[in-house]
Amino acid sequence: MPATAYVRETLSGWGRFPVEPAHVYRAEKRAELRELLASGAEPSYIARGLGRSYGDAALNAGGGVVRQTRLNRFLSFDPQTGILECEAGVSFAEIIRHFLPRGFFPPVTPGTQFVTVGGAIAADVHGKNHHRDGTLANFVTDLQLLTADGRVLHGSPSENADVFWATAGGMGLTGIILTARLRLRRVESAFLTVEYRRARCLDEALDVMAETDAGHQYSVAWVDCLATGASFGRSVVMQGDHAPAARLGKDPWKVRERRPVTLPLHLLAFALNKLSVAAFNALYCASHRDRAGQLVDYARFFYPLDAIRNWNRLYGRRGFVQYQVMFPPETARSSLSLLLRRLVQAGYAPYLAVLKRFGDRNQGLLSFPMKGITLALDIPVSRALVEVLSGCDSIVLDGGGRLYLAKDALMSGRTFAASYPRLEEFRQLKARLDPAGMLSSSLARRLGITGPGVASG
């Protein structure tokens, strides 16, 4: 098939909002990507991995969307160092399937294994271990980047470091990541030892995490924002560490296989509502008593939502947004409390809320994490939501916080510019690598990262 062959599709991110028509290209070989960029077939292009960003980062209304999932070859692996070289379309699920039985695990992982290496680097993803290990970029030794003019640049923290730190977190706007080398983590089993602690409110969860996170590789809290009165913000703090082989029986890699279920359409028609979620939350809280040393397999610990393939459809026809905010330590408690109060008062209590503590920031120009607290909130889309969230954006700015681009669908360019202080450096580097603005996305234009004239129509 020629590099310029495309399919018309209606696309969205994981939140199913916004939904946009697209010309979708699917390269099978790296050379085809270069051919496509040189063809002039579209005014602009954006790479797309597995579409697990929530909003419009991997959409490009009026331009081309280039799927990377066929470019998914493993290229080399060194069992001494754990360094894996692969094409950027390889997914974390594929890495785990091949390398976990050999004693290696992704060093940083988001809450789903259905992301590509390219998508994960482009968002500079964080996991439950940011307080210890930082983002994925800390484990990328180097990468190959196809730029808009067809050059292939080698980037690493020591070679073309400016390009490397613009690409990690750069949401596909510096070029198409072709290959990367990642340092995998050596583990002794497919299990974690997990400690669960219940907290009566958000403040208590933050106290528990501040006191005990340093003793664990992974830490996260699930927060119930639908409970009312004194129970508002009750949480379950979950902290885990890779389990040593000695804790397991004969086969430390054997995990009971659970096939992900696909919810039938008639069930989806009932969509989630406050009552059903509040009931689920109460059950979840009651079933997680304080326990330590619990053995939990990696899939249940890291990827509980992957158990339902199409859970994103539960939010109904209009979809949902994930509002992931972070605040520095000085303002985190007061700003989070203000933000949640504002949402609840407006009738938008989040259905799902996940809390993590971030360690120090890295050099990524648009990387999201910096020292402080992050809370990710799932909220169904409705007409008034845009206005409510724009009120929340003021709380974010007043508290010196910011929103995560990989989840964002609604932020304004003004809020973005005010909260990402290295944006101008990013723009300058982009202008050098891509003067004609050939790499653009719906998110990039909405936020004014690339000019409005880049993609016409």
Ligand X SMILES: Cc1cc2nc3c(=O)[nH]c(=O)nc-3n(C[C@H](O)[C@H](O)[C@H](O)COP(=O)(O)OP(=O)(O)OC[C@H]3O[C@@H](n4cnc5c(N)ncnc54)[C@H](O)[C@@H]3O)c2cc1C
Q: Does 16 bind ligand X (CB under 6 A)?
A: no
With CB under 6 A as the contact rule, which of the stretches 116-124, 151-159, 239-247, 334-342 interacts with ligand X? 116-124
Q: Which of 100, 84, 87 is nearest to 297 (CA)?
A: 100
Task: Kindly state whether residue 448 participates in binding ligand X, applying the rule CB under 6 A.
Answer: no
* Total residues at interface with ligand X (CB under 6 A): 33
Interaction between residue 123 and ligand X (CB under 6 A): yes
Q: Which of 6, 14, 45, 164 binds ligand X (CB under 6 A)?
A: 14
Cα 112 from Cα 91, distance rounded (Å): 10
Any contact of residue 57 with ligand X (CB under 6 A)? yes
209 binds ligand X (CB under 6 A): no
Shortest Cβ 50–ligand X spacing (Å): 4
Output the smallest distance, CB 156 to ligand X, in A.
Answer: 16
- Work out whether 122 is an interface residue with ligand X (CB under 6 A): yes
Q: For ligand X, which residue of 26, 34, 126, 313 counts as binding (CB under 6 A)?
A: 126
Nearest distance from C-beta of residue 439 to ligand X, angstroms: 8
Cβ atoms of residues 126 and 218 within 8 Å: no
CB-nearer residue toward ligand X: 339 or 444? 444
Map residues 155-174 to x or -, x wherever contact with ligand X holds by CB under 6 A: ----------------xx--
Closer to ligand X by CB, 189 or 441: give it. Answer: 441
CA dist 159 and 153 (Å) reads: 10
Residue type, 340: L
Angstrom distances, CA of residue 170 to CA of 22, 64, 164, 404, 449: 21, 18, 9, 12, 10
65-to-51, 79, 176, 408, 427 alpha-carbon distances in Å:
11, 35, 11, 18, 21
* 255: its two tokens: 């995990």
Strand order in the sheet with 402-403: 291-297, 191-199, 234-242, 218-224, 352-358, 372-380, 320-327, 402-403
How near is the Cβ of 80 to ligand X at its closest, in Å? 27
> Cis link prior to 18 (omega < 30° from 0)?
yes
**Per CB under 6 A, 118 contacts ligand X:** yes
* Surface-to-core class of residue 317, CB atoms within 10 Å of its CB (0-12 exposed, 13-18 middle, 19+ buried): exposed
Among candidate residues 127, 320, 113, 316, the one with its CA nearest the CA of residue 240? 127
Min dist CB 125 to ligand X, Å, is 3
Distance CA 262, CA 352 (A): 20
Closer to ligand X by CB, 48 or 201: give it: 48
Residue nearer to ligand X on the CB measure, 202 or 355: 355
**Site for ligand X, rule CB under 6 A:** 14, 46-53, 57-58, 68, 88, 110-112, 115-116, 118-120, 122-123, 125-127, 171-172, 176-177, 305, 406, 441
